[in-house]
Copies of this chain bind each other. A is one copy, B any other.
Amino acid sequence: MNIQDVILGILSEKPHSGYDIKRHFEEYFSFFFDASFGTIYPTLSKMEKLGLISREAVRQEGKPDKNMFTITPEGEQHFQKYLRQPAEKEVLRSDFLMHLYFGDMADEETMHTLLREALRAKQEMYDDLEHKLQELDKIGKLTSSQKLCMELGLVQYEAFIRKVQSALES
């Protein structure tokens, strides 16, 4: 999976600007993927050159002009190929778990703060994700796989929260 595949997936539904794409990342799947504008804009130009997407300048009133990108038939083919590939191994990078791992080298106070803070952060992520799921589902904006995708995030967050809570209690 590279960012190109993800952009093609988003454009499969309907045309988006670079700015829209970034918002989509944040709104729909910030919990398992993210990219910055510094990656998005150069990638869009590259994909245009490759013929996977096409650009159309759109004038707006009261707002800056924008470039709307549409997927081409080649882009669609490319994306279908991606979908049929087996999924790559998932990668987690957790500074919290690293701190915890070396916990015996720090004092109890530091460790207690670490756990409390991790719990708070994860609870916030849980609430955010649950709220998004509710809102999007209510207005029928979620397919069943998208719902499963978010629910998978939720059940894992929940398991984490329970475990950290029980560790803090003992």
Q: Which residues of A contact B (CB under 8 A)?
A: 1, 5-6, 9, 12, 28-29, 31-34, 79-80, 83-84, 86-106, 110-111, 114, 117-118, 121, 143-146, 148-149, 151-153, 155-156, 158-160, 162-164, 167
Contact A155 B163 (CB under 8 A): yes
List 21 contacting pairs A-B, 8 Å CB cutoff, sorted by A. Answer: A1-B95, A6-B98, A9-B98, A9-B102, A32-B97, A80-B105, A84-B106, A84-B110, A86-B117, A87-B99, A88-B95, A90-B96, A90-B97, A91-B93, A91-B94, A100-B148, A103-B143, A103-B144, A103-B148, A156-B159, A156-B160
Flag if B93 contacts A32 (CB, 8 Å).
yes
Residues of B within 8 A of A145 (CB): 100-104, 111
Decide if A5 touches B98 in the complex (CB within 8 Å).
Answer: yes
Q: Is the interface of A mostly helix, strand, loop or mixed?
A: helix
Which residue from B34, B83, B118, B163 sits with its C-beta under 8 Å from A106? B83
Give the distance to chain B from A21, nearest Cβ to Cβ, in Å: 14
Min CB gap A165→B, angstroms: 11
A169 → B minimal CB distance (Å)? 13
CA of A170 to CA of B5, assembled, Å: 29
Of A12, A121, A145, most buried by chain B (CB within 10 Å of CB) is: A145
B-chain residues with CB within 8 Å of residue A164 when the two chains form the complex: 152
- Cβ 8 A contact of A93, one of B33, B80, B94, B95: B33
